[in-house]
Amino acid sequence: MPDKPLFLERASFHRRRLGDAARVLPVLSALLVLLPVWWAPALVSFAGGVLWFFLLWAGLILAVWALHRALLRAEAATIRASEAVAAGQSHPGTGAQSHPAQGDARRNAGDSPDAL
């Protein structure tokens, strides 16, 4: 199994960025829901509020739908890409043997943000 490389190929890079988007989305939506009420309660309390909140809501549903679809596709693409790499890589060069050990150590360090 190939170890985690330092730089990612296109497919997994894309998937990571979509993952970042998935983390940002809740924060963004919370701000869009909460801030207008703090700033201009009179504007979003009546008929204007009905429009704003329901349009925002529909937008959020569509955003989550599109994001999840893209993430699922990106995951499938990443799996395909890693399978292709695994198939194409019969014997890694002997000179590169010391690098996986470093990569391994780095990944383990990254897995435990607060080691106890």
Partner 1 sequence: MPFETLLAICLAYVVLMFVVAFAADRAAARGHVRWLDHPLVYTLSLSVYCSAWTFYGAVGYASRSGLEFLTIYLGPTLVFTGAWWGLRRLVRVARMHHVTSVADLVSARFGKSNRLAALVTLIAIIASTPYIALQLKSVSLSFEVFATDTPAAPIINGATLGGTAGWVAAGLALFTILFGTRNLAADERHHGVVTAIALEAVVKLLAFLALGVFVVWGLADGPADIMARIARAAEAPENAEGWLLRADRWTVLNIVAAAAILTLPRMFQVMVVEAADEERLTIAGWAFPAYLFAMSLFVMPIAVMGRELLPAGANPDLYVLTLPASQGQDMLAMLVFLGGFSAATSMVVVCAIAVATMVSNHWLVPLWLAMRKTPGGETTDLRGFVLNARRLAILAVMAAGWVYHQASEGSAALAAMGLVAFVGMAQVLPAMIGGLLWRGANRKGAYAGIGTGFVLWMALIFLPSIGLGGDLPVAAGMDPWALAVFLSLSANTLAFIAVSIFGFPDPVERLQGLSFVSAIEPIRHSRMTRSDDRAEPLLAMARRVWGPEEALRFFQAEARAQGKSGYLPDLTPRFLTRLERRLGGSIGSATAHAMIDRVAGGIALTVSDLLQVADEAQRAKEETQRLENARAELAVTARRLREANDKLTALSVQKDAFLSQISHELRTPMTSVRAFSEILKDPSLTPEERTRFAGIIHDEAGRLTRLLDDLLHLSVLESGRAQLSISVANLHDLINRALSAASATRPERSFLIDRDPSSEHLGIVTDADRLLQVLINVISNARKYCDAERPVLILRVRNLEAEGVIIDIIDNGSGIDSGRQTLIFEKFARLNDPARAGGAGLGLAICREIMAALGGDISYLPGQGGAAFRIRLPKRPPVGTAASGSSAA
Q: Which of 45, 80, 85, 102 binds partner 1 (CB under 8 A)?
A: 45
Query: Should residue 13 be labelled a site residue for partner 1 when binding is judged by CB under 8 A?
Result: no
- Is position 90 an interface residue for partner 1 (rule: CB under 8 A)? no
In a 10 Å sphere around its CB, with 0-12 CB exposed, 13-18 middle and 19+ buried, how is residue 112 labelled? exposed
Q: How far apart are CA 75 and CA 60, in angstroms?
A: 22
CA angle 111, 114, 116 (to 5 degrees): 105
- Kindly indicate which of the ranges 9-17, 50-58, 78-86 contains the residues binding partner 1, using the contact rule CB under 8 A: 50-58
Of the candidate residues 8, 14, 71, 103, the single one contacting partner 1 (CB under 8 A): 71
